[in-house]
Structure 1
């Protein structure tokens, strides 16, 4: 004879209800889920290049204003400060961060990486995403044109005004894409392995102007080629804002944690504060139409 709960004495009925409740599947609370996610993004849980260390890549020389005095480990300069802020968000002390020299183009080329993430003004693009992972963006970018003050192209006010110029940019960069896709010059642009070579070419008259990101443009004209000036900047296209992102190995187990760290730094105002501190000079330039 099978007993139903209705036929059970009150004491046994209470026990039966308690047992049923204890066996019922329980949904995770948001706080429990967040705690589990946080726990998986700690040095003890992360599978990094070196156990207990966070290996960060960047190119050499490490240019200002992104780094100071060609020393990524100083914590000075916008990208150095961002790297250490991400490390701190992941639970790493400054002395647990290891820097590795990685040429710009190698950072997002196909193949296994020897860094946990790379920070080197690498713009997020669909093409690059086929070979590597990116964090969410840590800096919104605009491209700018730099010319010598005595050059007729220093008076340019539009992309059309630059079509006759001999332009230059670093290989593999969105600066070079800007020349090809937005300016469309009559002459083939000069392509340089590093921005140092582009700056030298500008100074000695091999090119009429170069294209770089806006903060770099202001630094070049204030500290490296003072006889040059920022001609202007290009506005972002609607819906396609260019952003720098941290580069990770394709399908890296660290991608979600690094992205969460970057998102947290944006949400709590850290990225804005670092931008104000290190990139404050790059705030205004005419917009080239």
Structure 2
């Protein structure tokens, strides 16, 4: 288990590079990226003049509200601060858009990955690439490698857990529709049904109130919650990767979108030129969080 010190500001938290979850490609990550889209391998012509956009001349990007740190800063996706905001603007620049040619729209998490027409060109909201979701939407290649993590309070019954078996009787919670919620049922498999929340803020409040024993979230969010949102928060540990697979966040697009290949090319370019690694170092917290056996 890991006790995370309370930080004076989010800026301090974000200053340290994330260890163990960097976006540099690995063989596994490359394999995941190859599955992210079914578009042709030939380079598409990707310029503002050729792209089929939701609004002519404007790149429309979606995310949820509130927009959580450390992925966004001050609940304002348009300021370019926070990892996903910075990635979104870097993708826009790769596609030939200036910052003032980007507009943001609010899209609830579940709506972003549900079937049906979208009111955005692409969406960034810590959405993991899964085969089930790819039945309803398109994904770019992955822009961040994810680890699911269990957090709690220092006086919790699961504070000393070192294995998944130690969580067998825990009441755990996660945001609805997320791979964090899926991980509770498929990896941890506690005897008590998981609690589901519309937002991570609601999960944090439930933990403060003693309604749940812990929360499952991605690792950077775990660092933020334990250092900033909880008075005595701590990281219990990271869940093993299921069957050794790399989980990745990807940009979401409408199913069959003509933009999918272009956004994928932009993400791949940002990975290849080191931009994604630089943004991880700038915006995401670090730590040697223990592994749950």
Does TM-score exceed 0.5, indicating one fold? Answer: yes
Larger Rg: 1
Offset, 1:200: 0.4
Q: Which moved more, 1:238-247 or 1:165-174?
A: 238-247
Show structure 1 runs of 4+ deviating over 3 A.
none
- For residue 248 of structure 2, what is the aligned residue in structure 1? 243
Is 1:284 aligned to residue 288 of structure 2? Answer: yes
- Between 1 and 2, higher relative CO (CA 8 Å, sep ≥ 6) is seen in 2
Find the partner of 1:199 among 193, 204, 212. 204
Q: For residues 65 and 228 of structure 1, what CA distance do their matches in structure 2 show?
A: 17
RMSD: 1.1
Do the aligned residues in 2 keep the contact of 1:220 with 1:226 (CA within 8 Å)?
no
- For residue 127 of structure 1, what is the aligned residue in structure 2? 132
In structure 1, the gaps of 5 or more residues are: 1-35
- For residue 171 of structure 1, what is the aligned residue in structure 2? 176
- For residue 85 of structure 1, what is the aligned residue in structure 2? 90
- For residue 156 of structure 1, what is the aligned residue in structure 2? 161
- For residue 22 of structure 1, what is the aligned residue in structure 2? none
Deviations 1:38-96 (A, max 9, x none): 6x200011010111110000000000000000000010000000000000000000000
Offset, 1:238: 4.2
- For residue 5 of structure 1, what is the aligned residue in structure 2? none
Do the aligned residues in 2 keep the contact of 1:163 with 1:184 (CA within 8 Å)?
yes
More helix by share: 1
Deviations 1:153-186 (A, max 9, x none): 0110011100111111111000011100111000
Is 1:225 aligned to residue 230 of structure 2? Answer: yes
Offset, 1:234: 1.4
Q: For residues 90 and 283 of structure 1, what CA distance do their matches in structure 2 show?
A: 33
Offset, 1:144: 0.4
In the alignment of these two chains, the number of paired residues is 252
Do the aligned residues in 2 keep the contact of 1:57 with 1:119 (CA within 8 Å)?
yes
Deviations 1:108-145 (A, max 9, x none): 10000000000000000000000000000000000000
TM-score (norm 1): 0.86
Alignment of 1:134-153 (within 5 A): 134-153=139-158
Question: Is the partner of 1:42 in helix, strand or coil?
Answer: coil
Is 1:274 aligned to residue 279 of structure 2? Answer: yes
Q: For residues 136 and 244 of structure 2, what CA distance do their matches in structure 1 show?
A: 23
Find the partner of 2:265 among 260, 268, 274. 260
Q: For residues 274 and 226 of structure 1, what CA distance do their matches in structure 2 show?
A: 28
Find the partner of 2:57 among 27, 46, 52. 52
